[in-house]
Copies of this chain bind each other. A is one copy, B any other.
């Protein structure tokens, strides 16, 4: 039996009888589950976590909508989180990407100006020159004390701006003349190793490398003597006594999202990087929720924030991070269970139909077996008034292979949503 018949029973089509003017008021919701794509997993009976999860809401949305496969940057390309989100927002990452640092900085509310060099930074634990923990025991309290202690450090003629984010995460911005982003970071990415040496990869980056090394030296000395670390040691917690930096980048030049699409836009995210990309694109950040950018998080409060943002803005970007974390940690069962939770949390999205054009997908796959991002495409669904529903009734990697959208790349996604919403102008006459 063709499921498109079933779709009509849903009472969805009868709401279609509206005029073009009304359609142009349609709002857009883009929901990204970070790293949600996966590969078949034996423990899940050969299904992926998304396929195995109980996704009543997403399945209903898939049933009402049109589905397909999304290659965020392009076929066979493994995206980073930053480049993937640029592509999802419609920017060509090969043209605009200047490194991760500026997005991380923007995510901690530091605005990166032309000439600045920004870094993603971890507060870490070092002992006898060896990194014991890249995240200082995932330090979550007292980090503001560290931030305050590292203010107003000036190296040569360079101003430094250090700002903490969630847990062990922080950003560092160097501001002043003669800086370059051609420096390597000191983060070895694994523990029980020495920090990597900071090396200028071009002649004009020698000053940047020198200033950066000196800042890390001074900062680490200050951190070691802080009261918060004495307390942590006395409680058998790892002290945050070192800074690991990576992702050197200069300010990117991005066309403002609102200008690009004619849409006021808001972002609901926990993770600094995602807020940073959204913010640099020109979206407003709605921080009025209890999302953490990790697990555990408060998905319901994020969904509430989305509802609020949709009242004010024409485009809302919702980001949930946990799916990616479980992929990196090779925890397929937890990944599946977290998707169960997401599905329950987003049930209120059904009420947004059909007036809101909703798109659900991911930024990249993070297959558990790989413990890292992959180039496997993502399932994608678009639902709302104006969509031509296909015959797919389940949201997952394999069901959407036969979806009506076929294979898309990330930069096509928002134009497609705008097209469905009738919010685009003709090319030609």
Question: Are A412's CB and B76's CB within 8 A?
Answer: yes
Report if A389 contacts B (CB, 8 A).
yes
Report if A182 contacts B (CB, 8 A).
no
Report if A245 contacts B (CB, 8 A).
no
Report if A279 contacts B (CB, 8 A).
no
Q: Which of A44-74 contact B (CB under 8 A)?
A: 45-48, 69, 73-74
A246: which of B17, B386, B404, B429 is its contact (CB, 8 Å)? B429
A77: which of B120, B388, B415 is its contact (CB, 8 Å)? B415
Nearest-neighbour CB distance to chain B for A31, whole angstroms, equals 19
Nearest-neighbour CB distance to chain B for A302, whole angstroms, equals 24
Complex CA gap A390/B80 in Å reads 26
A81: which of B46, B404, B419, B428 is its contact (CB, 8 Å)? B428
Q: Interface-forming stretch among A149-157, A344-352, A365-373?
A: A365-373
Complex CA gap A373/B425 in Å reads 9
A370: which of B17, B416, B422 is its contact (CB, 8 Å)? B422
Q: Interface-forming stretch among A205-213, A221-229, A236-244, A395-403?
A: A395-403
| Residue from A14, A16, A388, A422 whose CB has the most chain B CB atoms within 10 Å | A388
Complex CA gap A386/B406 in Å reads 21
Report if A276 contacts B (CB, 8 A).
no
Nearest-neighbour CB distance to chain B for A83, whole angstroms, equals 3
Q: Interface-forming stretch among A34-42, A131-139, A252-260, A262-270?
A: A34-42
Report if A374 contacts B (CB, 8 A).
yes
Chain B hits for A427, CB < 8 A: 73, 77-80, 83, 93
The SS class assigned to the A binding surface is loop
Question: Are A76's CB and B40's CB within 8 A?
Answer: no
> Number of copies of this chain in the oligomer?
2
Report if A391 contacts B (CB, 8 A).
yes
A76: which of B19, B83, B376, B424 is its contact (CB, 8 Å)? B424
Question: Are A369's CB and B82's CB within 8 A?
Answer: no
Chain B hits for A13, CB < 8 A: 40-42, 46
Report if A97 contacts B (CB, 8 A).
yes
Question: Are B69's CB and A406's CB within 8 A?
Answer: yes
Question: Are B17's CB and A82's CB within 8 A?
Answer: no
Question: Are A390's CB and B386's CB within 8 A?
Answer: no
Chain B hits for A48, CB < 8 A: 388
| Residue from A18, A77, A397, A427 whose CB has the most chain B CB atoms within 10 Å | A427
Question: Are B46's CB and A4's CB within 8 A?
Answer: yes
Report if A375 contacts B (CB, 8 A).
yes
Report if A289 contacts B (CB, 8 A).
no
Nearest-neighbour CB distance to chain B for A77, whole angstroms, equals 6
A429: which of B82, B408, B429 is its contact (CB, 8 Å)? B82
Report if A247 contacts B (CB, 8 A).
yes
Known: A78-B425, A389-B40, A429-B82. A16 touches B419 (CB 8 A): no
Report if A300 contacts B (CB, 8 A).
no
Question: Are B23's CB and A370's CB within 8 A?
Answer: yes
Complex CA gap A5/B399 in Å reads 12
Complex CA gap A407/B369 in Å reads 27
Complex CA gap A328/B227 in Å reads 72
Report if A100 contacts B (CB, 8 A).
yes
Map CB proximity to B onto A11-28 as digits: 1 under 8 Å, 0 otherwise.
Answer: 001101111100100000
Question: Are A76's CB and B419's CB within 8 A?
Answer: yes
Report if A8 contacts B (CB, 8 A).
yes
Across the A-B interface, give the 7 residue pairs with the lowest CB-CB distance, nearest first: A80-B428, A76-B415, A83-B428, A375-B419, A401-B404, A8-B46, A406-B407
**Cβ contacts A to B, 26 pairs, < 8 Å:** A2-B398, A4-B47, A8-B45, A8-B46, A13-B42, A16-B42, A16-B369, A40-B388, A69-B406, A76-B412, A76-B416, A76-B418, A77-B419, A78-B425, A79-B427, A79-B428, A80-B426, A80-B429, A370-B422, A375-B415, A375-B419, A376-B419, A376-B420, A389-B398, A402-B402, A407-B407
Q: Besides the contacts A18-B369, A40-B388, what 4 more A-B pairs have beta carbons closer than 8 Å?
A: A4-B47, A14-B42, A401-B406, A406-B406
